[in-house]
Amino acid sequence: MHKKTAMVKDFKKIKPPKSINSVTIIGKNGNVSWHLQNALSSLSISHTIISSKEALKRIELNSNLIIIAVADSAVEKVAKKIKSKNSILVHTSGSLDMNILKSYAENYGVIYPLQTLSKEKQIKFSDTPLCIEGSSDETSKSLMKFSKKLSKRVSLISSDKRLKLHLAAVFCSNFINHLIGIAKEILEKEDIPAEIIYPLVIETIQKAMNNNPFEVQTGPAIREDYHIMQTHLDLLLKDEKEVYEVISSKIINRKRTKMKNTKK
């Protein structure tokens, strides 16, 4: 009886293309895919787009670069079905390790756009930081050269550091967006135009970027104004109340910890 072994593609040492002139994007409908398509079109870089369903039918691709721009949970499923000997295979995830592609290509890597991307919402892609990683020095050089056509801000970042970068991005983008959403709902219930808080949001972000955010913290929590905090809590529903309490307690605890450390 022979034990069954996992099917892994057998690669000979194939050098990555020095210059990337043709691109295939797998994933027609995603946010990242939409912006990559626009960026490539604006630079007249030859590219084709196929859906993840088409890719799962095991297709042969001949582009210099194959970009898997699908949900994280589908990246490996798609990679397994790709037949390509001479391409560089990359994914665009902030959290997936580069080596998830190791069994499916000789030359592989990551091109991760560090930006909040939504379809139909145009951005200046040339200002978007691109975090790249390659399976070899030659692959990294090819990806770096290509990525610099798309953006002025390209960095070589390892999978471990990219995961931490993605974590930081969740805090400074996804969570902030959710909090602004809560603020807008509070105002809408009182027929107060949301635009009234926009200057505050902009100033808060700019001040946080130009200073140590913890040193320029304002508001009732940093002052430990419990009377005002309780007044606010009485106005909130359960979910929003929990958010308010957790963040306020974190602000207070950090302040007190700093005071203790200063006295030592």
Model pLDDT, residue 264: 67
pLDDT tens for residues 182-198? 999 999 999 999 999 99
- Per-residue pLDDT for 106 more than 80? yes
Who has greater pLDDT, 13 or 121? 121
pLDDT tens for residues 68-78? 999 999 999 99
Model pLDDT, residue 60: 67
Confidence band of 19 (pLDDT split at 50, 70, 90): confident
- Tokens coding 255: 């302040």
Check if the beta carbon of residue 70 is closer than 8 Å to that of residue 93: no
Mean predicted confidence (pLDDT) in 220-243: 97
Confidence band of 53 (pLDDT split at 50, 70, 90): confident
Q: Angle formed by the axes of helices 226-235 and 238-263, to 10°?
A: 160
CA distance 151 to 131: 10
Which domains occur in the chain, in start order? 22-157 (3.40.50.720), 163-263 (1.10.1040.20)
Average pLDDT score over the chain: 92
Model pLDDT, residue 93: 98
Model pLDDT, residue 51: 84
Residues 6+ apart with CB under 8 A from 242: none
Check if the beta carbon of residue 111 is closer than 8 Å to that of residue 134: no
Confidence band of 133 (pLDDT split at 50, 70, 90): very high
Confidence band of 56 (pLDDT split at 50, 70, 90): low
The C-alpha angle with vertex 148 and arms to 143 and 154, in degrees rounded to 5, equals: 80
- Per-residue pLDDT for 31 more than 90? yes
Can you say whether residue 219 is alpha, beta or left, with left for phi > 0 and alpha for psi between -120 and 50 degrees?
Answer: left
- Per-residue pLDDT for 11 more than 70? no
Who has greater pLDDT, 8 or 67? 67
Model pLDDT, residue 255: 95
Model pLDDT, residue 7: 45
Mean predicted confidence (pLDDT) in 199-211: 98
Model pLDDT, residue 9: 52
CA distance 101 to 188: 47
